[in-house]
């Protein structure tokens, strides 16, 4: 790798680790990399629509400062000079944070969210804000403010959501790292749709400085990358306790060093697997890719056990807990600005209109029972694996409250039939990751969800790295005709 042979295209294909190594050995410069990143964004943004705001001037200034630090051998972290994006519901000081909403089109926060502040303190370079559904309220990425963000592989299919812009930007080489969020699968769903690595850590591992109910929290500020190694690098900067988040207290900041190169991390591990919740469908292509992933896990030395009774259908309690949260947050906004809000957001508010206090508390009791049921599974298994999604990316115009089609059969609800496996682990707090594991006949990515024991994030990441290394399922959209 030399500066003479590197092009904007090849820079875009480099991981954060490769960029960091290039800076260390003076084969690359942060200024060169950030400049190439903006060139690529300029070329592909009209097609992908994954950025809502760009920070070119401040990013180049930060890159120049990073370059000086590398030249003096004083980088702030391995991510110094590495470009990253931030989902548009995560606050960025002085940079538009619109939540995908016309109501907040000109909102300029006066401070960074803690995760953003930590990335900046590590020298990483913010290049822009990525698209999201309005307030992150659904599993597709479209909003009144900017329209739709299509899949990185197919303009006819959804990028998933609500962190669709983050996943597309990472997949297409428009910055190798992204800060996303996951409130029910919002990192793992678009990661699976776009063939990237989406990690939802255990509750508290990355402190959440914006969540309004920290004690009952089920939402996460997450890393989105192309590799397990880059995720570990991000978590090395993002993790660690902070007084803003009670779940974060007492957690170390340095648990993620050395997870890569951990050959044999799956050897002898007890892996419980489940293809689909009882009564739910799964696409033939997804089932085939999942079976191939199981075979690969077994080749890596894992001991496989089918979990026949893993019924984690959380839809009834999810509707109570999630929709009452939306209602508490947005009822006043809807009363004043309902005409310009996303219709599906208003529908979700309406679903919680008649929920009683007893019903809400009963759902919280059920959440505790769910945690204990999952915790018991981890007395029997080291990891649990499922398909991330029961079908590949849905059509780009899919209605959240409409029917979806799987292998020619139509089903009445998107949430419990497309991503039934992601929501349970938001409620229980266990770490879960979507790793690319295959491709449909139509050329759309398929993801494997791997779940670890509570606070066993580093062990899960090491196992995911082992699978990723053996699978080699990653196929970069850099080579998919985007150029």
pLDDT digits (tens, 9 = 90+) for 90-142: 999 999 999 999 999 999 999 999 999 999 999 999 999 999 999 999 999 99
Task: Report yes or no: 90 and 210 within 8 Å, Cβ to Cβ.
Answer: yes
Kindly state the tokens that stand for 295: 């075979």
What is the number of other CB atoms lying within 10 angstroms of the CB of residue 224? 34
| Whether the Cβ atoms of residue 433 and residue 199 lie closer than 8 Å to each other | yes
Residue 242, classed as helix, strand or coil, is coil
Cα separation, 439 vs 49, in Å, equals 24
pTM value? Answer: 0.96
Tokens of 317: 């309690």
Residue 1 in domain: no
d(CA 180, CA 421): 19
> Highest mean pLDDT range out of 7-16, 259-268, 337-346?
337-346
Please give the structure tokens belonging to residue 387: 């398909």
Closest CA to 166 of 257, 256, 244, 85: 85
- Averaged pLDDT score across all residues of the chain: 94
pLDDT in tens, 52-100: 999 999 999 999 999 999 999 999 999 999 999 999 999 999 999 999 9
Residues 6+ apart with CB under 8 A from 154: 393, 442, 443, 444
451 lies in a domain? yes
Q: CA dihedral in degrees (362, 364, 369, 374; nearest 10)?
A: 150
The mean pLDDT of 19-29, rounded to a whole number, is 97
Distances (CA, A) of 119 to 81, 129, 195, 238, 322: 10, 14, 24, 7, 29
Tell me the Ramachandran region of residue 194: left when phi exceeds 0, alpha when psi lies from -120 to 50, beta otherwise.
alpha
Residue 16 clears pLDDT 90, i.e. is over it: yes
Q: Is residue 3 part of a domain?
A: no
**Structure confidence by residue, pLDDT tens digits, 403-440:** 999 999 999 999 999 999 999 999 999 999 999 999 99
Q: Starting at the edge strand that comes first in sequence, how are the strands of the sheet with 125-130 ordered?
A: 51-54, 125-130, 83-87, 177-182, 220-225, 197-200, 432-439, 445-452, 383-387, 270-273, 303-306
Could you give the CA distance from residue 248 to residue 207 in angstroms, rounded to a whole number?
A: 6
Token pair of 435 as six digits: 């790793």
Q: Is 300 a residue whose pLDDT tops 70?
A: yes
Give the CA radius of gyration of the chain.
Answer: 21
What's the number of domains the chain is made of? Answer: 1
Backbone CA torsion sign across 323, 329, 332, 338: negative
d(CA 46, CA 381): 46
Distance (Å, rounded) from C-alpha 130 to C-alpha 279? 36
Range of the domain at 312: 8-479
d(CA 343, CA 337) in angstroms, rounded, equals: 12
Q: How far apart are CA 277 and CA 213, in angstroms?
A: 30
Q: What is the DSSP string of 124-177?
A: -EEEEEE--SGGG-SSS-EETTTEE-B-SS-TTBB--SSSHHHHHHHHTTS-SE
216 lies in some domain:
yes
* Half-sphere exposure (Cβ direction) of 87: Cα atoms closer than 13 Å: 29
pLDDT over 90, % of the chain = 90
Is residue 2 in a domain? no
Task: Please choose, from the candidates 363, 345, 419, the residue with its C-alpha nearest in 3D space to the C-alpha of residue 387.
Answer: 419
CATH code, 297: 3.90.1300.10
Res. 257: pLDDT tops 90: no
Closest CA to 320 of 294, 355, 358: 355
Q: 214-223, 343-352, 362-371: lowest mean pLDDT where?
A: 343-352
479 pLDDT band, cuts 50/70/90, is: very low
For residues 82 and 12, the answer to whether their CB atoms sit within 8 Å is no
A 10 A CB-CB count for 285 gives 18
Does 472 map to a domain? yes
């Amino acid at each position: 790798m030399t500066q003479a042979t590197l092009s904007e295209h090849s820079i875009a294909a480099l991981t954060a680790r490769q960029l960091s190594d290039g800076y260390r050995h003076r084969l690359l410069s942060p200024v060169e990399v950030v400049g190439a990143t903006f060139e690529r964004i300029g070329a592909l943004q009209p097609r992908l629509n994954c950025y809502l705001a760009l920070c070119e001037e401040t990013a180049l200034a930060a890159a120049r400062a990073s370059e000086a630090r590398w030249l003096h051998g004083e980088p702030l972290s391995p991510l110094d000079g590495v470009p990253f994006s931030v989902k548009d519901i995560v606050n960025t000081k002085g940079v538009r944070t619109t939540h995908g909403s016309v109501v907040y089109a000109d909102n300029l926060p006066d401070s960074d969210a803690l995760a953003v502040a930590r990335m900046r303190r590590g020298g990483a370079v913010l290049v822009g804000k990525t698209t999201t559904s309005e307030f992150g309220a659904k599993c597709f990425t479209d909003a009144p403010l900017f329209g739709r963000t299509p899949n990185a592989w197919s303009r006819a299919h959804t990028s998933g959501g609500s962190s669709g812009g983050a996943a597309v930007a990472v997949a297409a080489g428009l910055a190798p790292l992204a800060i996303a969020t996951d409130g029910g699968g919002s990192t793992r769903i678009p990661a699976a749709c776009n063939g990237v690595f989406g990690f939802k850590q255990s509750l508290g591992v990355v402190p959440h400085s914006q969540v309004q109910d920290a004690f009952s929290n089920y939402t996460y500020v997450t890393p989105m990358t192309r590799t397990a190694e880059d995720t570990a690098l991000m978590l090395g900067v993002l993790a660690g306790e902070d007084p803003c988040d009670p779940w974060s207290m007492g957690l170390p900041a340095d648990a993620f060093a050395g997870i890569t190169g951990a050959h044999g991390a799956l050897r002898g591990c007890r892996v419980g697997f489940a293809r689909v919740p009882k009564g739910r469908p799964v696409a033939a292509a997804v089932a085939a890719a999942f079976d191939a992933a199981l075979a690969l896990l077994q080749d890596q030395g894992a001991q496989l056990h089918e979990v026949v009774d893993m019924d984690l259908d959380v839809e009834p309690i999810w509707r109570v807990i999630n929709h009452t949260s939306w209602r508490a947050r947005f009822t006043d906004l809807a009363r004043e600005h309902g005409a310009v809000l996303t219709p599906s957001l208003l529908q979700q508010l309406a679903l919680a209109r008649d929920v009683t206090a007893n019903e809400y508390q009963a759902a919280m009791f059920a959440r505790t029972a769910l945690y204990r049921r999952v915790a018991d599974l981890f007395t029997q298994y080291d990891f649990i694996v499922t398909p991330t999604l029961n079908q590949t990316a849905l059509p780009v115009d899919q209605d959240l409250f409409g029917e979806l089609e799987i292998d020619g059969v139509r089903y009445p609800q998107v949430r419990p039939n497309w991503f039934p496996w992601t929501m349970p682990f938001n409620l229980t707090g266990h770490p879960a990751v979507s790793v690319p594991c295959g491709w449909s006949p139509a050329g759309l990515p398929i993801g494997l969800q791997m779940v670890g024991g509570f606070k066993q994030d580093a062990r899960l990441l090491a196992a995911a790295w082992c699978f990723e290394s053996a699978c080699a399922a990653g196929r970069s959209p850099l080579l998919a005709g985007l150029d």
